[in-house]
Amino acid sequence: MSASAARYLDHFDLDVTLRDAAIDEQNRPTRRMIANAAIGMHVEDAFYSVREVREAVSWIHEGEPGGKRKLASILSNPNGDDFQRCIYFCLAGRGVVDMLDDLMWLEDLLEARGRIAGDIYRRKIRARPLVPPYVADEPDGPVVAAAEDFRQGRSWWADPDL
């Protein structure tokens, strides 16, 4: 066993459930993709980022005023979060019901991860250091246009044949 491997044996891996979900063949590909995308993300940042995307998508699906504005602002913010764009675009075009289902699934995983992180912190158990998956804090590349009047394609409707 290498010295670096031995160093982590006494640390709790907060990403273990995400790693398991990412390779579980019983999970659909979109779930495996978003679980992989969340590995290494800061505990609170990951949860609240996914929650914000899920809320915006839910609002649009439910016809809530401001839903499109919220999603457009998340995706177009030049100082925003590449993680949120990554999660959204892993699911975009797959159908709003599946998209919401996958977002709620990931949100539940990340909420449990946060509870475990809090518990191990209170118990003074060391957590394995998270390795941030992003190399920069700012968006890297083009961002989406801020237009809140975007056209909702077939994937936004529960029955795309309507």
The per-residue pLDDT for 5 is 45
pLDDT of 45 above 90: yes
pLDDT of 132 above 70: yes
Top-confidence residue, 39 or 123 = 39
pTM of the entire predicted model: 0.82
pLDDT of 6 above 50: no
The per-residue pLDDT for 10 is 62
Q: Contact 148/72 with Cβ under 8 angstroms?
A: yes
Mean pLDDT of the chain: 86
Please state, for a pLDDT cut of 70, what percent of the chain lies above it.
78
Give the pLDDT mean for 107-123: 94
The per-residue pLDDT for 54 is 98
Q: Which residues pair with 133 in a beta bridge?
A: none
Q: How confident is the model at residue 12 (pLDDT cuts 50, 70, 90)?
A: confident
pLDDT of 138 above 80: no
Which amino acid, residue 52? Answer: E
Give 115-124 contacts, CB < 8 A, sequence gap 24+: 116/12, 116/14, 117/14, 117/43, 120/12
Q: What is the dihedral of CA 85, 88, 90, 95, to 10 degrees?
A: -160
The per-residue pLDDT for 112 is 96
Q: Contact 38/88 with Cβ under 8 angstroms?
A: no
Give the pLDDT mean for 124-131: 86
